[in-house]
Structures are given as structure tokens and as C-alpha cells.
Amino acid sequence: MATAWNKLKTLMRGQARVSVEQIVNANDMLLLDQQLYETEHALRDARRQLARLMAEQTLNRNRRDELNRQIHYYERGARQALEQEEQTLALDIGKRLADLEQQLARLDQHAVTLGQQENAFQRFIQQAADQLKTLRHEQSLARTQESLFGQASQRQQESRGLAQRLCDSQQTLQQIQQRQEECRLLWQSETQLAAGMTSLGGDNLDQRMADAGIGDSQSQRARDILARLQPSSHPLRQGAAPGTGSHNEEQQGGTS
């Protein structure tokens, strides 16, 4: 039971890790932009620190200049006291000069340390600024490539969709053509079958009736048409001579 529970907890941690990785991978450009944004803020803070360091260096320089003026002043006073044989005064001035020189030595050492820090910090800030500039440039290229990849993926999907539509349209057209060819062949078969039935039935029977002189025939219709077209005239009597007929007509005309 404990082993199964441990496996279940391990599985849950694995799922959580995979989910986090998926979220990170899906928002990697946003993550990079936020990281660079925070880097820019850190760089601005570093520049402010450098500005404070340079200001401290300036203050240290001013304090050393002031100590140098005081040292020159008391040195002149010590010389005058020695010239006037004021040993006690000269000794006091010497103590003051010793204290001032110790302060100046500490300020000089601090100035050296500040100068080293300032130089190192300036180099670090310059390198960070150059690196940030490079990262921003690479981020711009990455965004451009991401956009191009997205457009290429979209074009690829659209191409696949167009190719699928063309394939479907071609298949539909082939089905239509196949159905039309089947209809044409069926109509042709029906026409041939009807023609064969007509030749076997009606035409042979009509021909046989015409040969027997029954019903309407082509030759009979031709004689009827010629008879209708013939001019109106008396038919010639059979056995009568042509001359005789004309003579009789003349006699009849003379008599009348």
C-alpha cells in the first residue's frame, strides 16, 4: 500500500512538472521578455550604484583637498613657530599635522579602493549593457522567426486543407462523370433494345401486309398522288382511231 501511494505521489509530481514545462514552453517568448525587462531594471539599479560610487569618490577627493589645505596651513604655522622659538606651539601644531596626515593617508587608501571599484563596476555595467543589447537583438530575431514559423505553419495547414478540398472535388467530379457514363450506356442500351424490338415486330408485319396488298402500301400511295396531280381530260376510248375521233368532232360542230 505504501509503495503504491509513493508511486502515485511520484506520478502526480511528474504530471505537475510536465504541466509546468508545457506552460513554460508555450510562453517562452513572454518569459524571455520578462527576464530581459527585469535585467534592464537591474542594470538601471547598477548604474545608480555606480553613480553613488562616483559621488562618493568625488566627496573623498574634496575631503582630501581640504586636508591638504589644512596641512599646508599648519605647516606654515609650524615654521613660523619654530622661527619664533615657540617650541610648545610648534609641538602642538606638529601633533595636529600628524593627525591630519593620518586622515589624509586613510582617505588616499579609500580613494584607491573606490577607484578600483568604480573601474570594475564600469566594466561590468558596460559588459552587461552590451550583452543586454545583444539579447534584445536576438529576441527581435526570435520573434521574427516565430512569426515566420507561425505563418509557415498556417500556410501549411491551409495548403493541406486546399489539397484535401481539391482531392474531394476531384473525387466528386469523377463520381459525377461515372454516373453520367452509366446513364449514357443505359440510354444507349435501351435505345438499341427498342430498335431491335421494333424491327422484329412492327416493321416485318407491315412489310408482309404490303406484300399481300393489304393495308396502306408505298406503291398505292404513289399511284394516288399521281392520279391527283394528273390534269382533267377525257380518257381515250379503247379501240378508237385518233383520226376518226377528230372527224366526228368536226361534223358535230358543223351540224350545230
Distance CA 147, CA 111 (A): 53
Query: What per-residue confidence (pLDDT) applies to 228?
Result: 80
Query: How does residue 59 score in pLDDT terms, banded at 50, 70 and 90?
Result: very high
Query: What per-residue confidence (pLDDT) applies to 69?
Result: 94
Query: How does residue 99 score in pLDDT terms, banded at 50, 70 and 90?
Result: very high
**Is 51 within 8 Å of 112 (Cβ atoms)?**
no
Residue 166 pLDDT greater than 80, yes or no: no
Average pLDDT score, the chain: 76
Residue 243 pLDDT greater than 70, yes or no: no
E-assigned strand segments in 46-90: none
Distance CA 117, CA 111 (A): 10
Residue 237 pLDDT greater than 60, yes or no: no
Query: What per-residue confidence (pLDDT) applies to 238?
Result: 41
Q: What number is the average pLDDT over the span 47-70?
A: 91
Answer with the residue of higher pLDDT: 206 or 109. Answer: 109
**Is 60 within 8 Å of 110 (Cβ atoms)?**
yes
Task: Specify the pTM.
Answer: 0.47
Give 57's DSSP letter.
Answer: H
pLDDT in tens, 181-227: 888 888 888 787 777 665 555 455 666 666 666 655 566 677 777 78
CA–CA distances in Å: residue 171 to residues 157, 166, 212: 21, 9, 61
Q: How many Cα atoms sit within 13 Å of 219 on the Cβ side? A: 7
- Position 228: which residue type? R
Query: What per-residue confidence (pLDDT) applies to 181?
Result: 84
Give 201's DSSP letter.
Answer: I
Residue 12 pLDDT greater than 80, yes or no: no
- Which range (130-134, 156-160, 200-204) has the least confidence? 200-204
**Is 104 within 8 Å of 71 (Cβ atoms)?**
yes
Answer with the residue of higher pLDDT: 52 or 235. Answer: 52
Query: What per-residue confidence (pLDDT) applies to 14?
Result: 67
The total of other beta-carbon atoms located within 10 Å of residue 139's CB is: 15
Instruction: Give the burial string for 151-183 (b: 16+ CB within 10 Å, else e).
Output: eeeeeeeeeeeeeeeeeeeeeeeeeeeeeeeee
**Is 118 within 8 Å of 54 (Cβ atoms)?**
yes
